[in-house]
Amino acid sequence: MKRRVPLAMVFIVSLFMVIQYFVPLDSLAWMYQYLLDWTIIIGVFALLLGIWSLWHVSYGKIKQRAENWQYSIVTLAGLFIMIISGFIPGWGNLNNYVYEHLFYYVLVPIQATMFSLLAFFISSAAFRAFRARSILASLLLFAGLVIMLRFVPMGPVSTVVADLAGWILRVPNMAAKRAIIIGIGLGAMATAFKIMFGIERSYLGRD
């Protein structure tokens, strides 16, 4: 029973989703939107679970004086300062001074900093990938070089490079991408069938 009820629910909802894709009726569109709204509602409640989990793990580390426990203090401090600054009575809403300053002048720059690291990581990854150790790696190096010369800030070095880069992107690159996309589409459909018919049930746990 503990298994059958969730599997039956999954089957019914999956079947509904398949039907509503092919049947454009008002009532089904309404039901579809209703279900999507519920996922948002569940997500909001699940966030409380997430906060509890973060608190539990971080507090446990502090209490046990686990290795690097000091970082957990910073984590919890960040969590509570942001929550409190958003809820302080009299400050109205999330547009209050403290919350906005913490968001725009602390959180956003830190996230931008993390993102900017990507540029350096791309360089180091490209350095490793473009070593001409075999014929295939040499081809990769050549293709990468042509594409880079096409998109450097000074513009395409020559029309030959521009044409060659365009061909690489339009033909071999596009063919490979489409092959992967077709595979992903079929794989997604197979996974959907497996879940719908209860063949794939690992997401339910294995009691």
Partner 1 sequence: MKDRLKLVVFLTVIAFIIQATVAFAQSEGETADSVISEQPVTPPPKPVIVSGEDIPNDNGHKLKLNWEYPAEWNDSIVRFEIYRADSPDGDFRRLGEAAGGIFSYLDIGSKKKDDPNYMPNDQNLYYRVDAVSKSGVTVQSEIGGPFQTSGQWFHKGKVPVLIGVVLFAIFTIYFIRSARKGKDLYIRPLAGIEAVDEAIGRATEMGKPILYVLGIGGASDIATIASFTILGRVAKKVAEYQTALTVPCYDPIVMSVAQDVVRSAYLEAGRPDQYSDDLVFFVTNAQFAYVAGINGIMVRDLPATNFYLGYFAAESLILAETGNSIGAIQIAGTDQITQIPFFVVACDYTLIGEELYAASAYLGRDPLLLGALKAEDWGKAIAMVLIIVGVLATAFGWDAFREFLRVNL
Residues lying near partner 1 in the complex (CB under 8 A): 18, 21-26, 29, 39, 42-43, 46-51, 53-54, 56-57, 60, 67-68, 71, 107, 110-112, 114-115, 117-118, 121-122, 124-126, 128-129, 177, 180-184, 186-195, 199-200, 202-207
Between 140 and 162, CB nearer to partner 1: 140
C-beta of 60 vs 172, nearer to partner 1:
60
CB of 133 to partner 1, least distance (A): 14
> Which residue's CB is nearer to partner 1, number 152 or number 181?
181
- Cβ of residue 164: shortest distance to partner 1, in angstroms? 19
Closest distance of CB 86 from partner 1, Å? 15
Q: Annotate the chain with three-state secondary structure.
A: CCCHHHHHHHHHHHHHHHHHHHCCCHHHHHHHHHHHHHHHHHHHHHHHHHHHHHHHHHHHHHHHCCCCCHHHHHHHHHHHHHHHHHHCCCCCCCCCHHHHHHHHHHHHHHHHHHHHHHHHHHHHHHHHHCCCCCHHHHHHHHHHHHHHHHHCCCCCCCHHHHHHHHHHHHHHHHHHHHHHHHHHHHHHHHHHHHHHCCCCCHHHCCC
In terms of CB distance, is 28 or 162 closer to partner 1?
Answer: 28
Nearer to partner 1, 144 or 166 (CB): 144
Q: Minimum Å distance from CB 24 to partner 1?
A: 5
